[in-house]
Amino acid sequence: MARQPRITFIGAGSTVFMKNIVGDVLQRPALSEATIALMDINPQRLEESAIVVNKLIATLGVKAKAETYTDQRRALQGADFVVVAFQIGGYEPCTVTDFEIPKKFGLRQTIADTLGVGGIMRGLRTVPHLWKICEDMMAVCPRAIMLQYVNPMAINTWAIAEKYPEIRQVGLCHSVQGTAMELAHDLDIPYEEIRYRSAGINHMAFFLEFEHRQKDGSYRSLYPDLVRAYREGRAPKPGWNPRCPNKVRYEMLTRLGYFVTESSEHFAEYTPYFIKEGREDLIEKFGIPLDEYPKRCIEQIDRWKAQAAEYRSADRIEVKQSKEYASSIINSVWTGEPSVIYGNQRNNGCITSLPTDCAAEVPCLVDHNGIQPTFIGDLPPQLTALIRTNINVQELTVRALISENREHIYHAAMMDPHTSAELDLDQIWSLVDDLLIAHRDWLPEWTQNPTLQKKAS
């Protein structure tokens, strides 16, 4: 009997996300007998996830099996694929801290999970745990592929490539395909008729081409249509979240000539143009959803409580195909059937206008050989320039982690586009001090200054 894949899910307590990934995997014939190893440090969430997976297996009528672990290395033993999805420090206390302390300095944020002082702190909390997974993988499943769904994606991917270059890894996000679907909807064009090519870094990649297939088989650029629809007030159309009208990206399209692949609420805090003290007119004009991420966290927690009860009592769990890339990657590597995904890996010259060692997001071919990023060349200079402002923050955060040099944490905050547009140097230093003290139980020891600790206590 042919060997079946073993897929380990670290952070399986992210039950809804885990359900989507496992549901996708089990609907693929070549993967339907896989072993799903679920690992989480929260026994209750782990048990809930195991119930969901077993009901998925029963609903689909497949021969897969689920195993549960609270020990990470045991869960990774013999894995072929490792899906990682967790949030160190959770909504409380860490996300709340990342919003409330900056607010005292007059620094307002929307999502704070990728860049800015919130993204820097999340990176410092998260990377050491990802490195521990890499260490365990090197010991018990060195050829496994890590499918990493954790923010801050670019900082994480860069830090893993820097310290564990042998690990086969890819950072995954659904912003590219998700945005393409949104734009097709805005223009009333079937998504299946769209062709696109995107490149950049995670959360700041741009559609270099965005085209519509014509009846004669040729393709026409949709950029003029998007600009026209925005200027005439026909786009963006209302989306899934009424708090997020998505105007920032359309405005940037008119300035840069290209559409960015991450949402307006994210993009507003990656740049210095939209969130400004005393400029409530900008907040209103572009519909900037300040403090959006904490609101989502509260809604997700409430939604999950209701869903968990529903899943416990349900005999069957309906499975819809999600837009995540994980099952496509696993299927292609396992069977050799090729696919193309958008993934984050070490740049290595794929985008020639960006640093070699940064984490780039480009189209990747996937087959028996694994995940192979494709060559892009130079990006348009205005895109390169804007992306570099974000890479500066990512690089200094990674340098801080690799060298254990806490000064680079301050340098990263100092270079952040939004933070530096709002705060002076003394404020930035004080803000970082306060965040490091507040997060001390979640951060590596080297991030702490003994003098400040005495002052804090």
Annotated binding site for Mn(2+): 173, 203
Could you tell me the two tokens for 156?
């994480």
Of the residues 174, 411, 418, 439, only one is catalytic, namely 174
Q: Is 328 exposed, middle or buried (0-12, 13-18, 19+ CB in 10 A)?
A: middle
Spell out the long-range contacts of 299-306 with Cβ–Cβ below 8 A and sequence spacing 24 or more: 301/91, 304/15, 304/16
Q: Is 282 exposed, middle or buried (0-12, 13-18, 19+ CB in 10 A)?
A: middle
Could you tell me the two tokens for 432?
């970082």
User: In 314-339, where does DSSP find H-type helix?
Assistant: 326-335
**Rounded Cα–Cα distance for residues 391 and 397 (Å):** 10
**Rounded Cα–Cα distance for residues 290 and 248 (Å):** 13
Residue numbers belonging to the annotated binding site for substrate: 151
Residue numbers belonging to the annotated binding site: 151, 173, 203
**Rounded Cα–Cα distance for residues 119 and 95 (Å):** 10
Task: Based on the residue annotation, tell me whether 174 is a catalytic residue of this protein.
Answer: yes
The per-residue DSSP string of 124-143 comes to HHHHHHHHHHHHHHHHH-TT
**Do 22 and 53 contact (CB within 8 A), yes or no?**
yes
Q: Is 299 exposed, middle or buried (0-12, 13-18, 19+ CB in 10 A)?
A: exposed
Closest CA to 262 of 324, 178, 185: 178
The per-residue DSSP string of 47-77 comes to HHHHHHHHHHHHHHT---EEEEES-HHHHHT
Catalytic residue list: 174
